[in-house]
Amino acid sequence: MVERVLSGDIDAFEPLITPYRQPLLSLAYRITRNWEDAKETSQETFLRAFKYLAKFDVQKSFRNWIYQILINTARNLKKKQAAQDRLRYDAPLSELPVDSGNDPEQAQLDRELRSQLADCLDGLSDREREIFLLRDIEGWNIKETADVLKCSSVAVRVHLSAARRKIKERIKEKYPFLLEVRR
C-alpha cells in the first residue's frame, strides 16, 4: 500500500490510514483534552504521514510510525501553544456537549466519566500520560510503547509505575467509590 502511494496512487492513502481514523483521534483527544486540538493534531499527523511516507521503513510497523508522529505532533502543538502563551478558555469537560442521543441521564453520565478520567490524567506529567495511555488504555506492550516514544523499556516501566501510583492516589482521594465497587 505504501509503495502504491509512493508510486503516485494517491487513492491508496485512504485505505492505508482508515484503520487509524478513530483510534488516533481518541488518543489525540486524551493527550490534548480538547476536541479541536485533537482534530488538528490528527490532521497534522495524517498530513506528515503522507508527506514523509518515503522516509517510512517498510520493514517496520506502520502503526508504530504513525502513532509516533501523533505523539510528536501533540507535543509540538502543546509547545506552540505554550510559546504563544495563548489565553485559551477550555470549557470544563463537564460543560462540553456530548453525543448521547436524547438521553439526558446518559449525557450526564458521559460527562462525569469524561471528567473523572481527565481529572486522573491531569495529575500526570506529559511523559507519564503518554506512557499510561499507550500501555494501559490502548493496550500496547512495553516494547511497542518504548519504540513509539523513542525511549528504553526501563524508562517506560519507571514512568508507568509512577503514573499508576499517581492515578491510584488521585482516585483514592477524589473518587474512592470507584475503588469500593471493586472490593
Partner 1 sequence: MTCRGTKKYLPLLAGNEISQKRALKVKAHLERCPGCRKEVEEISAALDAAKGMAQKEALRDWTDAEWRQMLRNVTAANVERRPWAVRLVQRPAFAFGLALLIFAAGALWLQKKLPLRPEERGALQARSQTTAQRPKESAGQDVLSMTIVSQETGLKIVWFFNKNFEWKENPQ
- Which CB sits closer to partner 1, 71 or 129? 129
Q: Which three cell numbers stand for residue 13?
A: 492513502
- The yes or no reply on residue 135 touching partner 1 (CB under 8 A) is yes
* Among 66, 71, 77, 120, contact with partner 1 (rule: CB under 8 A): 120
Q: CB of 77: closest distance to partner 1 in angstroms?
A: 16
Number of Cβ within a 10 Å radius of residue 134 = 23
Burial 2-16 (b: 16+ CB within 10 A, else e): beebeeeeeeebeeb
* Among 94, 125, 152, 161, contact with partner 1 (rule: CB under 8 A): 161
Alpha-carbon span 111 to 99, nearest angstrom: 10
Using CB under 8 A, count the residues that bind partner 1: 51
* Among 33, 61, 116, 155, contact with partner 1 (rule: CB under 8 A): 116
Contacts of 127 (CB under 8 A, 6+ apart): 149, 159
- The yes or no reply on residue 43 touching partner 1 (CB under 8 A) is yes
* Among 15, 21, 76, 174, contact with partner 1 (rule: CB under 8 A): 21
Name 102's bridge partners. 100
Burial 27-36 (b: 16+ CB within 10 A, else e): bbbbbbbbee
Residues that bind partner 1 (CB under 8 A): 5-6, 10, 13-14, 21-22, 25-26, 29-30, 35, 39, 42-43, 46-47, 50-55, 98-100, 110, 113-114, 116-117, 120, 135-137, 142, 157, 160-162, 164-165, 167-168, 171-172, 175, 178-179, 182-183
